[in-house]
Amino acid sequence: MDTKALHTISYGLYVITAKKGEQLNGQIANTVFQITSEPPTLAVSLNKQNLTHEFIRDGGSFAVSVLSKEASLSLIGQFGFKSGREVDKFAGVNYKLTAGGLPYLSDHTLAYLEAQVKQIVDAGSHSIFIGTLTDAAVLLQGEPMTYAYYHQVKRGTTPKTAPTFTAARAEDQPAPTAPKYQCSICNYIYDPAQGDPEHGIAPVTSFADLPDDWTCPICGAGKDAFEKI
Ligand code: FE
């Protein structure tokens, strides 16, 4: 069985949000689907360990922000590689509220959707929340971020709690011409050929030449969290 076959499946990239009392939380997910049109019904698969899972289970609704291709790695990192148990996911992030009072991102977001949960399917490590659409709007014209674009162009990686995580991600990279370094926290790979243009690091900058205060563009870890690969 060749599990690489799974890598040929296409996905988008979304921020899933929920609230518990006055507390807001959100996380990145690639597993959002419209599953029926009458009534419009969405499904999302989330890891049971995640705080957003708890908020949706308890609060009974979720919102989806559909990210555009312009969404930054640091925004994705804020929602994808940090836990709402440790940080306020919405600190420094522009957001507004859906009709049901759930947050959605107001920058680099093509549309938002809000759904009321009708069914929760136990899928082992994950739950699949199935909900009917209760509010939605198109915010921006543009191209949606896809999972493939995020990996190939934005140089992102997959957190270990994502349904599509595979440990051998580094092996999928082309043979290095200069040493690459991988973040031990989030698995982001620093490729000297690419640099980190979002943070002012030009292409063809070796890892050793990065400033001492450079941090992982996804999770914010320091240089000492990186290992040569
Ligand atoms: Fe990192």
pLDDT tens digits along 154-208: 665 666 677 776 654 444 444 456 899 999 988 889 989 889 888 889 888 999 9
203: helix, strand or coil: coil
Report how far ligand 1's centroid is from the alpha carbon of 139 (Å).
Answer: 30
What is the distance in A from the centroid of ligand 1 to the CA of 6? 25
**pLDDT tens-digit series, residues 49-98:** 999 999 999 999 999 999 999 998 888 888 988 888 988 999 999 999 99
Distance from Cα 195 to the centre of ligand 1, integer Å: 15
Give CA separation, 76 vs 82, 111, 118, 125, in Å.
10, 16, 28, 22
pLDDT at 165: 67
pLDDT attached to residue 167: 53
- Interatomic CA distance for residues 14 and 66, integer angstroms: 5
Residues with CB under 5 A from ligand 1 (ion): 183, 185-186, 188, 216, 218-219, 221
Kindly give the distance from the C-alpha atom of residue 226 to the centroid of ligand 1, in angstroms, as a whole number: 8
Model's pTM, two decimal places?
0.80
User: Does residue 217 have a cis peptide bond before it, meaning omega lies within 30 degrees of 0?
Assistant: no
Do residues 17 and 25 touch, judged by C-beta distance below 8 A? yes
